[in-house]
């Protein structure tokens, strides 16, 4: 037990108590949050089903830092190491291309048994698994269209991929005893102006409805649909736009996925939560950091992240929100990217919990905007870091930057030898 950390926490606790904030209660609230770490940060979104397939769908990963996970076993070991220095119990997001099998199978032929090793690993780690059907990096997505394709044969193939992902997610939910979120994102669209904007969207509705036709208990899995403003190569028209998927989620009782990088750079995605949730079943977040738009940089503790977590906490939206990470950076140690992004997301949540929310809402209701502004500004310099360090110490994970030395040793002993 580090006495310096403990003493700093005691002093911070006194400061927060003076403004009506219970630090112990904040820590307990944070313990209940499950982040969903994205496995694709560990191998640059390549997967292991088609090792020679070029990355497509407008997705691009920069850098060639040593140590990319070359197999499911290596990826699982890297995830285990990263999770060991992140406080709390969390989940991991998979994609279809991360199936663990020696069989030669296509995306539409995948079954739960091809993910057996992932379930075994998740049980050992005490984590949950979320799912994403892979609708890119495949010959049948070369036209730029999948579920919205005008070619019925192509469309039918991807419908089967979607159905397969649902059965795999159901398997995760049954085996691990916690709901698996199955996220749908497709790259369909046009680089230049189309004549017919309606027909692709009607085809997408029909495809999604066919995929979702079988009723699966939501205790095991629930679907989320993810829109995008535009993507590389489909700058003029995206079939699965935000408005499309928001409407689909509302009318079909699905989750709406909000990716922080998929909107216009001046939009604040946190403003969308309270507008959607009074009507919708819930949200799936892909927390990313856009730099000049959807560039999927490692999440840092910036204003955008703070606004996201603050909105979720202040409006009691966490129970209806799944928080996943989504970024990929191969210019730095890939485990460090996971750890920085996850720990910063948890820090931002803690900052939100360490706030006299009821008192601030009361001041706002009474029209005391002076107090609202003054107190929220003073909170920015309150010692939340001391509470975070104490939470890490109590969770038996490294305090401060101590985790970096541990990852450096792992890099030297494991990653550099790949």
Active site amino acids:
185, 226, 228, 259, 262, 286, 294, 296, 326
Residue in 279, 152, 255, 258 with CA at minimum distance from that of residue 210: 152
């Amino acid at each position: 037990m580090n006495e310096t950390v403990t003493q700093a926490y005691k002093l911070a606790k006194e400061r927060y108590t003076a403004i009506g904030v219970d630090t112990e209660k904040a820590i307990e609230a944070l313990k209940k949050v499950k982040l969903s770490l994205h496995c694709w940060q560990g191998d640059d979104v390549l997967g292991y089903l088609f090792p020679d397939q070029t990355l497509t769908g407008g997705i691009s990963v920069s850098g060639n830092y040593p140590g990319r996970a070359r197999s499911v076993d290596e990826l699982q070991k890297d995830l285990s190491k990263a999770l060991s220095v992140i406080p709390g119990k969390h989940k991991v997001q998979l994609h279809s291309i991360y199936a663990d099998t020696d069989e030669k199978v296509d995306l539409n032929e995948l079954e739960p048994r091809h993910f057996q090793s992932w379930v075994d690993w998740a049980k050992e780690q005490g984590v949950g698994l979320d799912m994403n059907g892979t609708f890119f990096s495949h010959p049948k997505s070369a036209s730029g269209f999948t579920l919205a394709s005008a070619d019925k044969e192509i469309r039918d193939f991807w419908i089967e991929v979607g159905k397969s992902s649902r059965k795999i997610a159901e398997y995760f939910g049954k085996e691990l005893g916690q709901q698996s979120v199955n996220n749908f994102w497709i790259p369909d669209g046009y680089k230049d102006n189309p004549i017919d904007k309606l027909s692709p969207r009607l085809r997408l509705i029909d495809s999604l409805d066919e995929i979702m036709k079988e009723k699966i208990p939501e205790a095991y899995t629930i679907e989320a649909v993810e829109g995008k403003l535009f993507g590389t190569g489909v700058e003029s028209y995206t079939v699965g736009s935000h408005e499309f998927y928001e409407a689909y989620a509302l009318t079909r009782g699905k989750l709406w996925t909000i990716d922080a990088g998929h909107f216009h750079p001046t939009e604040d995605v946190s403003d969308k939560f309270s507008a959607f949730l009074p009507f919708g079943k819930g949200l799936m977040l892909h927390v990313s950091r856009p730099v000049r738009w959807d560039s999927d940089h490692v999440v840092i503790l910036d204003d955008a992240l703070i606004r996201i977590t603050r909105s979720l906490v202040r409006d009691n939206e966490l129970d209806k929100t799944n928080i996943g990470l989504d970024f990929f950076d191969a210019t730095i140690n890939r485990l460090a990217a996971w750890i920085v992004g996850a720990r910063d997301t948890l820090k931002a949540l803690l900052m939100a919990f360490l706030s006299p929310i009821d008192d601030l809402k009361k001041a706002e209701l009474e029209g005391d905007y002076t107090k609202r502004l003054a107190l929220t500004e003073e909170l920015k310099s309150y010692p939340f870091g001391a509470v975070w360090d104490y939470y890490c110490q109590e969770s038996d994970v490294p305090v401060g930057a101590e985790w970096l030395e541990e990852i450096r040793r792992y890099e030297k002993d494991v990653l550099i030898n790949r």
